[in-house]
Amino acid sequence: MQINMMCARREFKNAQQRFDHMTMVIKSYLDSEEIINKEALPYIQERKGNPFAAMMDIDSYIDGNMAGAWIFHKDLKTFKKLAYVYSKLSVLKSVEYSNPVPFFFRSDYTNVKEPMFHMLMSDSTEIRDFLIRNIEDVANDTEDLEDEYDLNRQMIYNTLLMLEGKQLELLKQRSQKVLDAPVPKIKQFAKELELRKYDFQFYLAFAEKDLEGMKKALEPFFNKKIAQDAAKHTLVYYDFYLQPQVVIYAKLASIHGFDLGIDHEIAPKELIQYQPLPEEEYQDIVDFMKPYKLSYPYAYLQNWIDYYLRKTDQLFPV
């Protein structure tokens, strides 16, 4: 793979140095021949130390191997399988290992950051059903727009509305309200909102099932500056060569039968096309994941947390 327009310099001397560094880091996961850090497993199996920190450590290995499967081998099957594992682990590991609570999407993360990216890239119907069924628990339906946290909350909720694909009038109303909002007084927030207007234009076109409108809304993300700015601080193993917004929004369109005709080095059609693997291909690769089913009531996540915090020896309610 060669460097492309997505590779901004960031904190490196130049873009090529960043590209070389990131590919080296990702390759190191493949070279280790370890999909998970086995040293972390006893902390989970024996419920000692901080099991949630151990889960996070395992997740980081999965992320690196998932990235490597695609960037070096274009192995879409392994990419999706590991995306599923990462996604389920993201639910199980909680949001903060230092203060575990049932999973939700953080408001200091954008809607294209992990784990949303991985969840959508997996094409897993199990992950999709979990998100749709628990949308009110994992996301915030606020229509406030006071700061960047509110903006993130709105975009996360809208992304899940697109995934569901049913409440289109609500999605349209929410999106139009943001597009019509006055320019914020805080300069940095105003700049961020201006950058994200393209996202909301896509949401609006999606809500109207406007294929050409969706295509037009994504056009700005093929402008180098906009593409890089929109991707900044989103996906460390991906945003230096993929455009996250294009990949995710085109994927959501594909889930609902819309082909935007996109196939670009920053948004390959293979990643965009919605093609779930056979159900048996999505496997929990470590034993501690297996007892928890994503079909369980959301409230069971608190039991999961209490079990690994050693507050109870009963994993699930009787």
Q: Which two tokens stand for residue 2?
A: 């060669």
Segments making up each domain of the chain, as ranges: 15-308
Per the listing, tokens 């575990």 go with 100
Listed residue (218, 273, 266) closest to 79, CA to CA = 273
Looking at residue 118, its pLDDT comes to 99
Burial class from Cβ neighbours inside 10 Å (0-12, 13-18, 19+) for residue 296 reads middle
d(CA 291, CA 287): 8
Q: Provide the 8-state DSSP code for 43.
A: H
Mean pLDDT per 10-residue section of the chain, whose length is 318 residues? 95 97 97 93 98 97 98 98 98 94 98 98 99 99 98 99 99 99 97 98 99 99 98 97 99 99 99 98 97 97 98 91
Which helix H or strand E contains 44, and what residues bound it?
Answer: helix 41-45
Integer Cα distance of 190 and 161 in angstroms: 25
Report pTM.
Answer: 0.97
